Amino acid sequence: MPWQSVRILVDSKQAELLSDALLEAGALSVSMEDADAGTVDETPLFGEPDYPTAELWPHSIASVLLDEHEDVAAILTLAAEHAGIPTPTDYSVETIAEQDWVRLTQSQFDPISISPRLWIVPTWHDAPDSSAINLKLDPGLAFGTGSHPTTRLCLRWLDTHLSGGTLLDYGCGSGILAIAAAKLGAARVDGVDIDTQAVTASRDNAALNDVSAFFYLPKELGTGTYDVVVANILTNPLKGMAPLLAGRVRQGGQLVLSGILAEQANDVMAVYRSWFSFAPPEIDEGWVRLAGVKL
């Protein structure tokens, strides 16, 4: 059967109240998105490692799934009354046809070529090049399938620059960068994330790829420095975490940063320049990767 997909622009202070009330009023599911995603105002949800935030995004979009026969206006009015907030008026409705969601999801993720020798291959596909380094990875709860420009930028750096040594993936998500580093020859690979699901997903993905990599919550990570530290997060937490990340890179080691829009690159480099000398930024679809050597 088809469904109704309703997207509602909501204030962050009302988002959680409205979400709970919509589910009570009959919504099949409710998820929240950053209305400013992909802009300079994009912010992390609940913070990044060691960079906590207290609220949802300043501007949120509630994505609501309803039965095809539900009265959208009536559901919104009822939910708003339960939540004690004004009835939302800024929303859109789209009909979602019945589909085989598993096959649809799989059809959207084909093998991705990072370089001639490095591929990302979903488990339901055969590797296009069996002689290449193939990362087995499926879309899941944690960020990082290789389809986003920031992930590709970091993978390309690893592919061309990594030569043994130790590596820390700070904000590891799915573990894709750590797993790639292990397959590319890093001697020791650690990953850290504040999200327990990300840590679990990373461990599962490392086992799937038969590599040795270790993943932790921030408080579980030991002390010490690394030859390479990679952080693919977002600009604001990267700026706030500069002393922490700089302290994890050994003298002469390398720092790789992404999750940065092109217009934000100079601001990020300015924060880190007391520790690092940066190469020119690399850009992919408006996103930037920065790479620097510790002075």
259 is in an annotated binding site: no
Domains and CATH numbers, the chain: 3-98 (3.30.70.260), 109-294 (3.40.50.150)
Q: Read off the pLDDT of residues 188-207 as tens digits, 9 standing for 90 and up.
A: 999 999 989 889 999 999 99
- Write b or e for each residue in 60-78: b if 16 or more Cβ atoms lie within 10 A of its Cβ, otherwise e: bbbebbbeeebeeeebbeb
Give the predicted TM-score (pTM) of the model: 0.69
pLDDT interval class at 61 (50, 70, 90):
confident
- Asked if residue 196 belongs to a known ligand binding site, the reply is no
- The answer, yes or no, to whether residue 8 has pLDDT greater than 80, is yes
**Band of the pLDDT at 144, cuts 50, 70, 90?**
low
193 annotated as ligand-binding? yes
Answer yes or no: is 151 a known binding residue.
yes
Task: Judge contact between 34 and 60, C-beta under 8 A.
Answer: yes
Q: Measure the CA angle with vertex 114, ends 182 and 162; round to 5°.
A: 40
CA distance 47 to 66: 30
Q: Which one-letter DSSP state was computed for residue 242?
A: H
Q: How confident is the model at residue 167 (pLDDT cuts 50, 70, 90)?
A: very high
Determine the pLDDT at residue 41.
62
